[in-house]
A and B are shown apart, each in its own frame.
Chain A
Amino acid sequence: MSYILIVISAIFVNNIVLSQFLGICPFLGVSKKISTGVGMTGAVTFVMVIATIVTYLVQKLVLDPFGLAYLQTISFILVIAALVQLVEIILKKVSPPLYQALGVFLPLITTNCTILGVAIMTIQKDLNLVEAVVFSASTAVGFGLALITFAGIREQLELVDVPKGMRGTPIALIVAGLLALAFMGFAGLV
Chain B
Amino acid sequence: MNVVLITIITLGALGAVAAIILYFVAQKFKVFEDPRIDQVEEVLPAANCGGCGFPGCRAFAEAMVKADDISTMNCPVGGAEVMAKAAAVLGKEVEAAAPKLAVVKCNGTCENRPRLTTYDGASTCAIAASLYGGETGCSYGCYGLGDCVEACTFDAIYMDEETGLPVVDEEKCVACGACVSACPKNIIELRKQGPKGRRVFVSCVNKDKGAVARKVCSAACIGCKKCEKECPFGAITVVNNLAYIDDSKCKLCRKCVVVCPTNAIHEVNFPPRKPKPAIESTEKKSAE
Direct contact of A and B (CB under 8 A): yes
Binding site for B on A (CB under 8 A): 58, 62-63, 66, 68, 71, 74-75, 78-79, 81-82, 85-86, 89-90, 92-94, 96
Complex Cα gap A63–B3 (Å): 12
Once A and B bind, how many residue pairs between them come within 8 Å at the CB atom? 43
CB distance from A50 to the nearest CB of B (A): 13
Asked whether B21 lies within 8 Å of A86 as measured between CB atoms, the reply is: yes
Residues from chain B with a CB closer than 8 A to the CB of A90 are: 25, 29
Tell which of A68, A81, A93, A96 touches B10, judged by Cβ atoms closer than 8 Å: A68
Asked whether B26 lies within 8 Å of A89 as measured between CB atoms, the reply is: yes
Answer whether A71 and B10 are a contact pair too, CB < 8 Å, given A89-B29, A92-B29, A92-B31.
Answer: yes
CB distance from A164 to the nearest CB of B (A): 12
Residues from chain A with a CB closer than 8 A to the CB of B10 are: 62-63, 66, 68, 71, 75
Complex Cα gap A71–B10 (Å): 9
Chain A residues touching B, majority SS: helix
CB distance from A119 to the nearest CB of B (A): 14
Q: Which of B211-248 contact A (CB under 8 A)?
A: none
Chain B residues touching A, majority SS: helix
CB-based nearest A residue for B1: A66
Complex Cα gap A79–B21 (Å): 11
Residues from chain A with a CB closer than 8 A to the CB of B14 are: 58, 62, 75, 78-79
Residues from chain B with a CB closer than 8 A to the CB of A96 are: 31
Complex Cα gap A63–B6 (Å): 10
Complex Cα gap A119–B137 (Å): 73
CB distance from B13 to the nearest CB of A (A): 9
Residues from chain B with a CB closer than 8 A to the CB of A58 are: 14
Residues from chain A with a CB closer than 8 A to the CB of B29 are: 89-90, 92-94
Q: Which of B1-34 contact A (CB under 8 A)?
A: 6-7, 10-11, 14-15, 18, 21-22, 25-26, 29-31
